[in-house]
Each structure stands twice: as structure tokens, then as C-alpha cells.
Amino acid sequence: MSLLFLPDDQSQKETAIGIGVFDGLHLAHRRLLSQVTALASESGLEAGVVTFDPPPPLFFQRKDYLLITTLEEKIQLFLKLKLDMVFVLRFDKGISLLSPRKFVEDILIKRVKAKIVVVGQNFTFGRNREGDVLSLELFGKEYGFQVVKIPLVRLSSGEIVSSSLIRKLIQEGKVTEANRFLCTPLTLRFLKQGSSDLYFLKEEGKTQPPPGRYLVSLNYGELICPLDFHNPLSIPGLNQNEIVVSFLGNEP
């Protein structure tokens, strides 16, 4: 899998791509990207994804926005999905001011060489989110790429499977339910504070569950056990500077 950083890098081959933040890489994201890989295989194209760093809500300093997965975690998850290319678009002021047409011309056509673009039905893009799926389809006819629209995934309750829903579930302590939709369990990293037994959350901008008792995996399966979670963590006798806590579910 090739990792390219936009707007500097450029694909040398034509692509079928999915576009989105893909925070958490949940069920709906995976359905979209499975369509990307299928269409790429059928059409002889490279299968790719365009994601944003930082996500636009973080760039615009939306205070309630917390990550489920960091960029590094997301790239590791993309590796599992048989993608040929991952495009990371550095989202800055210049990118935020691109009109929908300029976004298509400068990013999708010149840099990504997109021939098939797969997006969710509520996709928006360009300055002030002025572009939507309909305008993308019109640009596709003009510039010669196909647009595939993926329906939203709805639960029996009517709720839409989304990163926002999963954040809400995690913050309410419903980890087992959140994990039903995630590609991999919620994972948080903690750093040891000096010579004490206290471990502090490494990435403060990540979504975390409330204090409570959860079934966790420490350091990717090194130890699976119940944990009384709070930040900071207190784990006596653990002689490691950093620990990785994967939340497997709620402990009854």
C-alpha cells in the first residue's frame, strides 16, 4: 500500500477512490471501501482512499469533536482493507478555501487521477461545504469520472451508523455496543508519570468512556482482564513507560 500526502504527492495511476474522514473506520465506512476495492478490481484501477489530516472539524476548532482513531491508527486499519493507495490531504486554510470545482480539479483530477469516486449520500466538500453529491455527479460528467453514492446504514431504531453515534455510545460507557460497529476495539494509549504507578492519557483529543469497569486488552493481547478505568490509570507493579488499552466491552 502506497501512502501519499496531498497536495504535494501525485498518483501515477488512475484510481477508484473513497473520500471521507473515516474516523473509527466503522461499519458504514467499511461498506463504502469494499465497494471501492470491488469497482477498482472490475475496472483495472488502483483502489484508494482520500482522508483528511486534521479532520475538518478539528481544523475549525469544533470544541465537541473528539477522535475515535488517530491518523496513525487509521492508516494501520486501511492496511487491512486491500487498498492500493492512501491519500492524506493536509487540511489547512488553503484547502478549506477551495471551491468545489477547484477541489475536483486540483485534488481529484490532477493529484489523485480519480476515475471512480465513491462517497456516502450525505457527502459534502469544498469551501463552506458548498459541494454535495449532486454537484459531484455533475463534475463527474464534465471531467470524465463516475460517482457512486453509498446509502446510509440505518439501525432498526432509525439511527444512522456514524462516527457521531459511536462517539456518543463510547462517552455514555456503552463500549460493547460501540464495538459492534468498529473495525477494531476502541484503543487508548497511556504514559507513565515518573516513578509513580499513574498512567496519563497520551492523546487528550481522543474519545474515552466514563470511569467504570471494562473488559480490556493490555498491549494488544499481552493481558486480558477487567479494569477499573479512569484517567489517570493506577496500575501498581506494571514496569512499562507506555501501555495500550483496548476496550473489549463492558464488564457486567
Place of cell 476502541: 186
pLDDT tens digits for range 212-248: 999 999 988 778 889 999 888 887 777 788 999 999 9
**What pLDDT does residue 237 have?**
73
Question: Which one is predicted more confidently, 57 or 252?
Answer: 57
**What pLDDT does residue 247 have?**
95
Does position 112 have pLDDT exceeding 90, yes or no? yes
Does position 252 have pLDDT exceeding 80, yes or no? no
Instruction: Return the closest-CA partner of residue 243 out of 189, 200, 201, 185.
Output: 189
Which pTM value belongs to this model? 0.91
Burial 130-163 (b: 16+ CB within 10 A, else e): ebbbebbbebbeeeebebbbbeebeeeeeeebbb
Question: Which one is predicted more confidently, 51 or 196?
Answer: 51
Question: pLDDT-derived band of residue 95, with 50, 70 and 90 as boundaries?
Answer: very high
Burial class from Cβ neighbours inside 10 Å (0-12, 13-18, 19+) for residue 220 reads exposed
Does position 196 have pLDDT exceeding 90, yes or no? no
pLDDT tens digits for range 13-67: 999 999 999 999 999 999 999 999 999 999 999 999 999 999 999 999 888 899 9
| Domain boundaries along the sequence of the chain | 2-150, 175-250
CATH fold for the domain made of 2-150: Rossmann fold (3.40.50)
